[in-house]
Chain A
Amino acid sequence: MNASAQPLLRLDDVKKVFYTDEVETHALSGIHLDIRNGEYVSIAGPSGCGKSTLLSILGLLDSPSEGGYWLNGKQVSDLSLSERARIRNREVGFIFQSFNLIGDLSVYENVELPLTYRGMSSADRKKRVHDALEKVGMAHRAKHLPSQLSGGQQQRVAVARAVAGEPSIVLADEPTGNLDSTNGEAVMELMRELHRAGATICMVTHDPRYARHADRIVHLFDGRVVEEEQGQLAVKAEHELKESGFEVA
């Protein structure tokens, strides 16, 4: 857990201001955040506090108004559009609240999509897609269209799409927001498995049950980090206490 001295990514005093109709929205105001390799970080906070904005900056969908962002020790806050596209494609895997599978493409093709933007040979793609679908237990549905799947299944395919390219970090924005609790549970279990297998994950959720799956919970409020707690450890501790026969409140 105490990985290398250098974090996988580092945000240094990142600010994000949106200008709309002469109104300034300070979505992020001075965020410091380090995420180490193999870490599982959960971001929590009330609606409108800037969670998605933070995630979009981490995923290079947007750039900070101020501040620095280093990914793998490289400054990435001001790169060209195509450089950013390249990094998104290779270093980042996205999981969205609304799945965002492409309706015209089969499950297989959806998972394959980020790999095709990489110019990978089709044999390599095939293997990766297959492995990724195996990982999420959807290999038998490879030929289906998204519309033929349940929400939970769709989100599992989306997870497969996020990890197929073996990114440095998986970013997930409320991945269970559109799912009932059973399906949500299953997707969360999947995330944990990914984490156990070594993936770095940064996930937005305001469901405290799921937040606690993480190693670390970052609480945002009004664009600021107001608290950090050790989620997974706490859960583990609770678990161990229970096993030892203690009552847990």
Chain B
Amino acid sequence: METLLKDLRYAARMLVKHRGFTAIAVLSLALGIGVNTAIFSLVNALLVRPVPVVREQGSVMWLRAPASYPDYLDYREQAQSFDGMAAITGTSEFSLSRSDSEPELVKGEFVSANYFDVLGVGASRGRTFSEDEGRTPAPVVVIGQRLWRTRFNSDQFIVGRQISLNGLGHTVIGVAPENFTGTEIGLDRELWVPLSMQPVLNPPEATGFVGGGEVGRFDERNNHWLAVFARLKPGVAREQAGAELSAIARHVAEANTGRVDAETLRRVQLLRMSGGMDPRDQEEALPIAGIVMAVVALVLLIACANIAGLLVARAAVRRRETAIRQALGASRPRLVRQLLTESVLLGVLGGALGLLLALWVNDILVSYARATPLAALDLSLDYRVLVFTLAVSVATGFIFGLAPALQASRIDIVTALKSEDALGRASSPRSRLRSVFVAAQVTLSVVLLVGAGLFIRSLQNAHAIDPGFRVDNALTVPINLGLLRYKATDGRNFYRELLARVLAQPGVERASLVRFTPLGFSYAQGQVVAEGQAAQSGEEGTSVGFNMVGPGYLGTMGTPLVRGRDFTEADREGAPRVAVVNESLAETLWPGEDPLGKRLSFDRTKGPFLEVVGVARDVKYRSLGEREHPYVYQPVLQSYEPKMTLVVRTAGDPRAIAGAVREQIRALDPNLPVADIRTLGEQFDLSLFPARVAAWTLGGFGLLALVLAAVGIYGVVSYAVAQRTREIGVRMALGARRGDVLRLVMGEGLFVVGLGLAAGLLLALIATRVVAGFLYGVGTTDPLTFVAVPLVLGAIALAASYIPARRATRVDPMVALRYE
């Protein structure tokens, strides 16, 4: 303990003494640790941090298994391991209206009546749901704090008041406690309604094909629409409970289907409810979080390599000191400990500054998140972030300090103490280690910069890629008739009427409807079978993307028809069922044949069969980077979908007619909330958002890495110059010219850079495959990127080594005569 204090005091003294070095090291560490802390805060908020308010969160578990309502009941009734088990639907939209204002779109969820009890969350006012309210539909609602404060002005008498949800009166029975926004944080849920109300608020007859059709959600075992969580009984292990559930799942499957197929045999896993993310989303988010964490870890590693390099240089200067200590009897572990104390102290200093940096970055992140679905993102500090930062800081100190410390303590005392020493130590293990660090920095910078380059190139390309539809001059208006329980016939009439009214507006050229806006964020997939081809395409059929669209949709979007016709008003209920396929599907199902008049089915050979009346050019549906793939359009007026987006093609600025469109919708149904009106251009830009974020972050980190690498190269060459002053003097005395000296000093730095570049390019070739799916119209081996990055990096390396090398040419050859 005493020696530790002594070590610390000495370390502090050394850091103060070498102020320049300390400043550079702390600053680069702060950058490195800062980005790591910032990203960890984000990951912590989304994946790790407990859900606010939930009691004894450690024993609340998500069931990782597909769950239908009957499955849920079986699990709940038969399992002995739990104190309670609740089911939720995930975010649903509600139309909240009060007599005095326009209807508003509010997010909430349907939950089983025991939802709050299982979570251990009580109401801050009023009560939560009773068991009865779970059994028979009861129009009651628990509202969130924010909704209560903002829309109800913190009404003291809110409990017992009637509000209208989706046009139906509901009684407010309680207000959720402060900070509680459900089990998935950041998603801004503002109200909770009993699951028993789901069929009332979203009746099957008002649901479309996509929403599950006319299937009864409560008795259908194949409709896995619920997420289930449960509270473990005290003393029950997670594995034990999981095994019990798996056994139940197996029995249930056998009892109901008479066979156990692969799907039902899947073990029921239990996942801790940490991070407040639906386990389904967690699975998608984890790899992305992994990639981002890896990238920022790379940045930190570069900073480490940088400082390790500086430390090695300093160790050379302190060689004599180390040798004297050793001659006086200091053991090697003792020396290593002294040196490590210094580097860990540096790490902690860097971490402290990095934490400040992270807080600032988080402020920026949160202000951006306001505009996204994660509006309620909370990135405030907690002990996890602090522990993470401290751990990273200390680990960082070890990482960059260990190799130099081991190296520094492994000196040959005799040579170090001998005043006479041959000149130059270019190939000593010391400078070799240092060169390895610089090469590693260059390697990592190359990887990051190549990544950034690919994303920047793909953004450039994005605007040159033809998405298959016209992006300019179009407005998109999402409509959800399901909120007001429209039956199919009424819904279809609403659509027809709406289109007629909108088309009559001045400035409107065309208008239609679409279920899934291309490059929007949702997409549907199914299997089709061509008539008479069932055998060839196998049991499952051909996998296709599909969409429900209104009359004149392809014309409105500006998607060219290759053959046949667009849908019309005549493609309605009762008329022969039709479809438009894209070129890829036509080519897949009927190569070399005329697809017009051919028929296909979505339900194997059962039908109904849809007749192909048109072939449309392929469109980019999910991302600009996707490959062509089969796609089918069906007329929405032949079936029904409650949730559609109105697309309006305008002559001029589409924004100008937004008000008029809203007006027409209100005229048709004053209770229908309209939100999120966008232009197709904005939608298009939004779809580029991930690539843009990737380009910016990779580019930012890449530049950071580049700066650090440049500092590293500069350091190596300056160090070499300082170390070799005498040698350079001797060479000059022997007749070396400016050019000879420059070549000598820079050659070494550039050789190291060359090695790093080569390794970096190789590594980049491998690493970029990971992001292949996010790139538009650019291969992971894009020649421009792979040429430009080494050129830029090479130029910077040249500059970074030229500046200190120039100093070498000014060495006074007289030093050769001086004898020390």
Contact = CB atoms under 8 A, between A and B. Distances in A.
A85 B737 contact: yes
A82 interface: yes
B796 to A, nearest CB: 27
Contacts of B262: none
B738 interface: yes
A230 interface: no
Nearest to B421: A103
Nearest to A94: B733
A89 B734 contact: yes
A85 B738 CA distance: 9
Contacts of A178: 420, 819
Contacts of A141: none
B734 A56 contact: no
Given A61-B814, A114-B735, A104 B819 contact: no
Main secondary structure, interface of B, reads loop
B5 interface: no
Please indicate which of the listed interface residues B423, B426, B738, B812 has the most CB atoms of chain A within 10 Å of its own CB: B423
Contacts of A81: 737-738
Given A103-B421, A104-B426, A151-B420, A55 B817 contact: yes
B434 interface: no
Interface string A76-98: 00000110011011100010111
B816 A94 contact: yes
A118 interface: yes
Contacts of B818: 52
Contacts of A97: 817, 819
B726 to A, nearest CB: 7
Given A103-B421, A151-B420, A61 B730 contact: no
A205 to B, nearest CB: 14
Please indicate which of the listed interface residues B426, B738, B812, B819 has the most CB atoms of chain A within 10 Å of its own CB: B819
B733 A113 contact: no
Contact of A104 (B420, B424, B740, B813): B424
Given A61-B814, A104-B426, A117-B740, A98 B733 contact: no
B727 interface: yes
B422 A103 contact: yes
Contact of B734 (A94, A147, A154, A173): A94
A104 B813 CA distance: 19
B426 A61 contact: no
Nearest to B733: A94
A102 B736 contact: no
Interface residues of B, number: 27
Interface string A123-162: 0000000000000000000000111000100100000010
Nearest to B737: A85
A59 B423 contact: no
A211 B736 CA distance: 31
A178 B738 CA distance: 30
Nearest to A117: B735
Contact of A88 (B735, B814, B817): B735
A228 interface: no
Main secondary structure, interface of A, reads mixed
A84 to B, nearest CB: 9
Nearest to A91: B735
Contacts of B280: none
Contacts of A118: 735
A159 to B, nearest CB: 13
A28 interface: no
A102 B728 CA distance: 10
B559 to A, nearest CB: 69
A117 B736 contact: yes
A86 B726 CA distance: 20
B727 A102 contact: yes
Given A94-B733, A113-B731, A100 B738 contact: no
B522 interface: no
Contact of B735 (A56, A86, A104, A154): A86
Contacts of B423: 100-103
A96 B818 CA distance: 9
B732 interface: yes
A47 to B, nearest CB: 11
A48 B736 CA distance: 28
Given A88-B735, A98-B420, A173-B817, 10 more contacts: A61-B817, A81-B738, A85-B738, A96-B816, A96-B817, A96-B819, A99-B422, A104-B424, A145-B422, A151-B420
Interface of B: 420-427, 726-727, 730-738, 740, 812-814, 816-819
Closest 6 CB pairs of A and B: A89-B735, A103-B422, A146-B422, A100-B730, A114-B734, A117-B735
27 contacts: A56-B814, A56-B817, A61-B812, A61-B813, A61-B814, A61-B817, A62-B814, A81-B737, A81-B738, A82-B737, A86-B737, A88-B733, A88-B734, A88-B813, A90-B735, A96-B816, A100-B423, A100-B727, A100-B730, A101-B423, A102-B727, A102-B730, A102-B731, A103-B421, A103-B425, A103-B727, A113-B731
